[in-house]
Structure 1
Amino acid sequence: MSEKTININVSDLKKMVKEQLSFVGKRQGDKQGNTIFAGVTLSSTEEAILNKAIHGAAETFASELSPKITIYNESGAEGTLTFSTYGLNDAKAGAVENIFTNYAIAYIGKVTLGKNYPELAKEFADETASYLESAIKLAYSIDAPSKSDKTLKDMTGTMYNDDGTPFRGVI
């Protein structure tokens, strides 16, 4: 089975989330016209919840793409997602990895802004839904096999059942 592993680098994701929230905070205003920068940027104490949020994003992503995602490992601050790339070319497999990163950033934005800025949290929630939809469509699309001049007559070898015994039936 062909597989690809996505390494979840928590420190990189934290940095990307902080940049995203900073960007949003500088450009959004409250009812009085003040920027909401101070309210959306994360303090060092709030940063501790990011690990949980990142792993929550990974668990949700793995759950939504099951059974394509075959393994989710969490080891301390880092983690990995392993998914089946059967029928996917390298570009599509790489795109699933990029979608996960964007999904995680949006998921964390949704979680961190949920109580104080529900309108912004809704925008991030819409993004997470869009990223999940894209990931599911991509992960479950199957590319046609490459073309070849060979036919079944050119095939040699033995086919085996799942239990390892030679196949003796009709295809």
Structure 2
Amino acid sequence: MNSFCKIAMVLGFMALVTSCANPNRPNYQYMPDMYVPVTYETYSEVGFLPSGMEAEQPVAHTIPRGWMPYKYDNTPDGKAAAKLQKSPLDSLNTDNDIAKGGELYNIYCAICHGGKGDGQGNLVKREKILGVPKYNDVARDITVGDVYHTIYYGLNAMGSYANQLNYTERWQVSEYVMKLKKDL
């Protein structure tokens, strides 16, 4: 009789458990991280690494996170192709982009190119650097893609600012330079 009660209790418990199951609703996941993988965009920065970790440093001869490759080479043909490039910020909120580009321009560019883009920055006035052209010079047909290419690789005495400005900031400064060209 005792074993009959045990068998009845086990069968009753199994009936209770199976009666609560709903085939239309998925079961509870006890460890969802094991079932749903976390995906990251290629070249995107990750925020889960603490600052200063060795894991933040890229392995030699690899691409670091947050770096976006630029499809144009630092050649005359690459510069000519980049000249035809349009800004990806055109469809976004350009007023904020131009304001941010103005701030960055004043930090990185105005010391040589001048606050108005007239080629009369402090270093030019003090004769530390010579030959900085105006943005509205008729002989120079600059476009937003041309400015981005110059910021990325540098030109003549101007060095590259690719490490100081990220992808969006370079486009913002390029848009601001085009605004200065119109205003001159």
- TM-score of the pair, normalised by structure 2: 0.23
> Bigger radius of gyration, 1 or 2?
2
User: Which has more helix, going by share of residues?
Assistant: 1
TM score, norm. by length of structure 1: 0.25
